Amino acid sequence: MTTITRDLSSLPKRDVYRILSSLVIPRPIAWITTVDGDGRVNLAPFSSFMGIFGPPMLAVTLGRRKDGSLKDTHRNLQERGEAVVHIADLPLLEALHASAADVGPEVSEVERLGLAMEPSLRVAPPRLRDAPVALECRLNHELELGPGSTLVLLDVLVSHATERIWSAEEDSADASLWRPVSRLASVVGPNYGALGQTFHLGVSELP
């Protein structure tokens, strides 16, 4: 079997991102609402995102704008310390994609896209009514990873899941009942996937 090998330590940052993001797939997308000091709701997607399950936390990597300034989500998190992280399914893909557009901080992506909102229980940012999953979070810690990249740790306070994806028997979401979207490689523009066939092989040692 022929193997294509690249020494990432010797490549420019852009090439490293292109290669590694094409290999580490599928990547769940954190669709995050925050609120600025004037009460405006910001909505943005981030595909460098993972869950930490003990204690309940989320880890999200936030980049910066080309001029080095903070993106709206990051700035709002620093100012208010709260966010709601949503996971979108296939019917919301077009809105999720459109919310990545680079607009000024005075523009609310939620209003621009006509997305319905509901009040959260424990945090100021509202949650998206039609998102199948919403996690109310509070900022725990920030870690600078290098120029233009910050790892943000969020404590998960409250979880919301729409009834159609919930298993009453297991008291948890059933992956076979919905199609969460994920980010794939971006060789030719944005590329997405959705969860398809699932498998059950019995008890496993994996966490």
Q: What is the CATH number of the domain that holds 82?
A: 2.30.110.10
Q: Is residue 107 part of a domain?
A: yes
Asked whether residue 15 is domain-assigned, the answer is no
pTM metric for this prediction: 0.91
Maximal C-alpha separation, the chain: 58
Lowest mean pLDDT among 51-60, 169-178, 185-194: 185-194
Structural domain total, the chain: 1
CA dihedral 69, 145, 42, 131 (to 10 degrees): 160
- Confirm whether 57 is domain-assigned: yes
Domain that holds residue 48: 28-163+178-191
Residue 6 lies in a domain: no
Is there a domain that residue 203 lies in?
A: no
pLDDT digits (tens, 9 = 90+) for 43-60: 999 998 999 999 999 999
Asked if residue 13 belongs to a domain, the reply is no
Residue 65 lies in a domain: yes
**Residues 111-129: tens digit of each pLDDT:** 999 999 999 999 999 999 9
60 phi and psi, to 5 degrees?
-130, 135
In a domain, 206, yes or no: no
Task: Give percent above pLDDT 90 in the chain.
Answer: 69
